[in-house]
Amino acid sequence: MIILLSAVVAVLVVAGAVVWFNAESYEDKVADCKRAVGAYDFDAQPVEEGGTIPGCEDVKRDDYLALVLSNTIANMPKEDRDLLDYSDNGTIDGSIG
């Protein structure tokens, strides 16, 4: 009886480990969302306020918004970007020439 119980426990542990190792991590979900944001046409298919695009449903709201903002800035023409020369401490204390 003990041998049978030990075998069942061992099988459950191995099955649990396989499922856990094959599960998609949060970083994988964020990477998938980043690819989805890069390929999505926001002009042709606007997203409702508070909504997300397909592929980003499991990503935290702050991370999703950061990915959208990052993609928007990356696709901006360089002349439209803020090119102020901020000092290393994050302030504008005399670093603009």
Using DSSP, state whether 85 is helix, strand or coil: coil
Smallest Cα–Cα separation from 38: which of 55, 21, 57, 16?
Answer: 55
- Is there a domain that residue 29 lies in? yes
The C-alpha angle 50, 52, 56, rounded to 5 degrees, equals: 140
Interatomic CA distance for residues 73 and 82, integer angstroms:
10
- Is there a domain that residue 14 lies in? no
The C-alpha angle 32, 60, 90, rounded to 5 degrees, equals: 100
pTM for this entry: 0.59
Interatomic CA distance for residues 55 and 11, integer angstroms:
34
- Per-residue pLDDT for the chain (97 aa), expressed as one digit of tens each? 888 777 777 777 777 766 667 667 889 999 999 999 999 888 888 888 888 889 899 899 999 999 998 888 888 787 766 655 555 555 666 555 4
How many domains would you assign to the chain? 1
- Is there a domain that residue 1 lies in? no
CB atoms within 10 A of CB 52: 18
- Is there a domain that residue 68 lies in? yes
